[in-house]
Amino acid sequence: MCNKLEGFNLISNWKPTTFTLPEGILDIKKTFDCGQCFRWNNIGNYTYAGVIGDKYIQIKQCEAENGLVEYMTTLDPVYLKDFLNYLGINDDYSYLEHINLTNFEVKAMDKGRGIRILHQDLWETIVSFIISQRNNIPKIKTSIHRLCEAAGTKMVTKNPVIGSEIYYYTFPTPKQIVNLGITGLQKCGLGYRAEYIYTIALEFDINPLRFYDYNNKSKSGQETVDFLMRFRGIGPKVANCIALFGYNKLDMFPIDIWISRAIDQYYNGDIDIERFGKLAGLMQQYIFYYMK
């Protein structure tokens, strides 16, 4: 039984909000460390800190009791419903329980149990996964942090008890990135990806609805991927990641170096993704997490 408040008192202009879920539904460590998001950090004491939109949030996961897990957040209760939606708690993951899985898939799913596919901001997801190409996760996180410092809006949340302040940055809007310019982007360590991001920031700023249009349920994952791949710097893998993580097209199955290793190692070089149906992306996350 963990001390629920220990390490979870950095900020106090919040009304602590708690919620409970059955064990196995949400594991925040797996969810935030599985490579789908880059702005959540482990700050100790089973607590993660992150930024969603203009809000700084801490969440702590406690040990299960009687099959239930308690979570504490620093988020005002009025936002709890939105936060649960962000965490993907409303998504039905039962489909994978009803299909035949290989021994490897059962092992991967078991290890990854509790991973949720987050409902992240579309623009942030587009930029993040353009940065991710030919890059490793620690450096992606560093680059994105530098980008937020350079072009995002600086925010502060204050602890009136001990007087300390926590500074954080919103993820820069398309316009903020355009204003930063290509050279400003390159100073964030983005390398050749800087011009890709600059170009798509111009497009997104001019016509955001062109992008949000694919949030519609009538747009398939493949249609979304085809649209995204028309932009310079977005190929099949990045497009699949944006469709899966930014548009929540849960049937998409991004193939990166780790997944192709799994395909070589456990599928004799040939995987049938159709078996996973509408939750192929979730199985992809289990496999990715297993391989890492």
Chain contacts with DNA (rule: CB under 7 A):
34-36, 132-140, 142, 186, 189-192, 229, 231-239, 241, 254-259, 284-285, 288, 292
Q: Tell me how far, at minimum, the Cβ of 240 lies from DNA, in Å.
A: 8
- Residue 17 or 41 with smaller CB distance to DNA: 41
- Residue 167 or 192 with smaller CB distance to DNA: 192
- Residue 95 or 258 with smaller CB distance to DNA: 258
Q: Tell me how far, at minimum, the Cβ of 192 lies from DNA, in Å.
A: 4
φ/ψ of residue 203, rounded to 5:
-65, -45
- Residue 166 or 259 with smaller CB distance to DNA: 259
Q: Tell me how far, at minimum, the Cβ of 193 lies from DNA, in Å.
A: 8
Query: CA-CA distance, 85 to 239, in Å (whole number)?
Result: 23
- Residue 14 or 32 with smaller CB distance to DNA: 32
Q: Tell me how far, at minimum, the Cβ of 7 lies from DNA, in Å.
A: 25
Q: Tell me how far, at minimum, the Cβ of 222 lies from DNA, in Å.
A: 15
- Residue 72 or 244 with smaller CB distance to DNA: 244
Of the candidates 146, 20, 12, the residue with the CA atom closest to the CA atom of residue 72: 20
Asked if 276 contacts 96 with a C-beta cutoff of 8 angstroms, the reply is yes
Q: Tell me how far, at minimum, the Cβ of 229 lies from DNA, in Å.
A: 7
Q: Tell me how far, at minimum, the Cβ of 13 lies from DNA, in Å.
A: 33
Q: Which residues, in sequence order, are bridge partners of residue 36?
A: none
Query: CA-CA distance, 183 to 198, in Å (whole number)?
Result: 10
- Residue 7 or 184 with smaller CB distance to DNA: 184
